[in-house]
Amino acid sequence: MHTQIALFDGVDPLDAIAPYEVLWAAGSLSDGLATVELVSAEGARPVVSGSGGLVLQATAALDPSAADVVVVPGAAGRVGDPDGDDQEEADDTIAVRLARTLETDLPRLIGEALADPAVIVACICGGALIPAMAGLIEGRPAVTHHLGMDLLDATGTTAVAARVVDDGDLITSGGVTSGLDVALHLVERFVGPQIAHAVESLFEFERRGVVWRPTGPIPVAP
């Protein structure tokens, strides 16, 4: 399983690094059955995150044809509307940083990944809003950070209040630390539960909640 984690300007570093570490550890514990790299739509370049200007290094261009999994992180920055007319504050908001990705090649590449049934797209936290705002996941179940659930629903995506939502070739998660849960779910699903358990033990982290899937009976009101 080869994973490409797509960086963009203003990205939340934890959304990217948490799954990177899980997948790297899974590869180490499975003799290379999982591999991972940091990429960007523009190719190899330093990427300034939204967390204090921390710089992450993309080592290659995002290429869905070369990946089994494409991970789309969310953004970091100010939450809510800025005070007054301060343009710098407005530019620092999470909403603006996510919206700016629509002006890049990232949505097209995510669309290519979603069009290939052999590729999984896994969105972390606010990352789900990028394909949602681009009209790529309309009608599909997904989750994002709780502050973005109304926007997710407004795009025509079916918002589901779960820690992780697995809709086959689209996996989404809510909350910044959920990158750990998604990555461990991917390891269990594609590499095996023993490796996933070994990574959990190594990191002293246990996944939270049930992975929601659109299968089985629909709950009725009690």
Q: pLDDT tens across 152-191, in order?
A: 999 999 999 999 999 999 999 998 899 999 999 999 999 9
- Burial category of 31 from C-beta neighbours within 10 Å (exposed 0-12, middle 13-18, buried 19 and up): exposed
The 10 Å CB-count burial string (b at 16+, else e) for 134-145 is bebbeebbbbbb
More confident residue, 80 or 25: 25
pLDDT-based confidence at 88, cuts 50/70/90? low
Domains of the chain (ranges; CATH) run: 2-212 (3.40.50.880)
- For 181, other C-beta atoms within 10 Å of its C-beta total 24
Pairing of the two strands 164-166 and 170-173? antiparallel
Indicate if the pLDDT at residue 9 is higher than 80.
yes
Question: Encoding tokens for residue 139?
Answer: 């009608």
> Which of 56-65, 71-80, 193-202 comes out lowest in average pLDDT?
71-80
Instruction: Give residue 43's pLDDT.
Output: 98
Tens-place pLDDT, residues 113-159: 999 999 999 999 999 999 999 999 999 999 999 999 999 999 999 99
Coil, helix or strand at residue 65: helix
Which residues make beta-bridge pairs with 73? Answer: none
pLDDT given for residue 85 in this prediction: 55
pLDDT score, position 147:
93
pLDDT greater than 80 at residue 215 = yes
Q: Evaluate if residue 107 carries a pLDDT over 80.
A: yes
Q: In this structure, how many other beta carbons lie within 10 angstroms of the beta carbon of residue 112?
A: 16
Q: How many CB atoms lie within 10 A of CB 101?
A: 25
Q: What is the mean pLDDT of the chain?
A: 94
The owner of tokens 């009690």 is 222
List C-alpha distances in Å: 119 to 21, 112, 168: 21, 9, 10
pLDDT of residue 37 exceeding 60, the answer is: yes
